[in-house]
Chains A and B, each alone.
Chain A
Amino acid sequence: MSISKEEVEKVASLARLELSPAEVELMAEQMGTVLGYVAKLDEIDATNIKPTTHVLDIDNSFREDVMHPSLTQAEALANGPDQNGEAFVVPKII
């Protein structure tokens, strides 16, 4: 299976990744190889098989709606590369 460079660039843009032309070329080749292998799944007819997203038989996991101690604002912001003590700072959006 082959993946075009345009497809790699489109997916990279969706994933918010910027790739160099050399990376685009390499990723196109390697993704093509992996997806070619994954096409093995076509050998199986799974039409009426229910998909599994979770392996254990757990439904909703409820708890009492009570407050617990949590992080302080300063702790929550501490790893932000740019913050003003109240919020994370980002470039102007509008």
Chain B
Amino acid sequence: MSEKILEVENLKVNFLLPDSIVYAVRDASFDLKRNEIMGIVGESGSGKSVSCLSTLRLLPKKIKTEGKIIIDGHNILEEEESWVRKNIRGKKISMVFQDPTVALNPIYSIGWQMREALMFRKEKIGDSKKETEFIINILDELKVTDPEQVINKYPHQLSGGMKQRIVIAIALLLQSDILIADEPTTSLDVTIQHEVVEVITRLKKDYEMSVIFISHDLNLLADYCDRMVVMYGGMVLEKGYTDEVYNNPKSPYTRALLKCIPPLTGNKKDFEPIPGEILNPRKVIQGCPFEPRCKKRKEKCGKEIPRLEKTGSERYIRCFYPD
């Protein structure tokens, strides 16, 4: 059993707007082990991105957080921002954002931006020649064609897939322990998607990084992740080893999610969208967040919030009536 390098315990994040409160994360608990790829799946507004942004304290100032995020024995939520900036960002955790077309500064060349990232690495390289070699090596590893040409190019001259590879390369050269990939394939073509995911899985193998892979694509995650976390309405509803969660989902939400992926072949009768709308993050809830849309709902579900209970090795369910 490898050790935990990141622990999120009962995280709550509220955005304090002038006239209302947005409950972005209502109760999230999960952990990341060394050298594993963990997938967080959920619809928009489920709280998956905000939970991960909290580990880097990259959220706006007008928020209220509760709970703990523990790395290396420190609770990130209690530390000063300058401490987080010096010790966590880029050092322990680095992040790949969703849209590669805007994740790179348009006015600087690729090489310039990668060199800049090197400045924030744990161990500096120092020598300018060695830096260039290092950068070209990494681009090579990520199968970027003609890296010597690419480093002189500007972001708008490259394709989406290429840009995403460069963004990942930047995260790579920081050599942080953890990489958070926030929907890295969502804005790319399907054919490029798998290439990018292959690149990310190599990070685990060759660079011993642990990865948190956020997506709304269950099938994609099921192919590559060791463990999965399913979130809805700001709460973790189910989590566990991927094959268990994917092949034997116990939360009605996970089951419903699996059913609403349109099948390309085979039994089309199994395709069923989830009725209703996504839970409004401004709404205060008394019971399970999925209750209004759940086929199996009973009276208790709307009155009491179910707790996340352990049902097996690494397996947790939040439901009064799991399958």
The yes or no verdict on A and B being binding partners is no
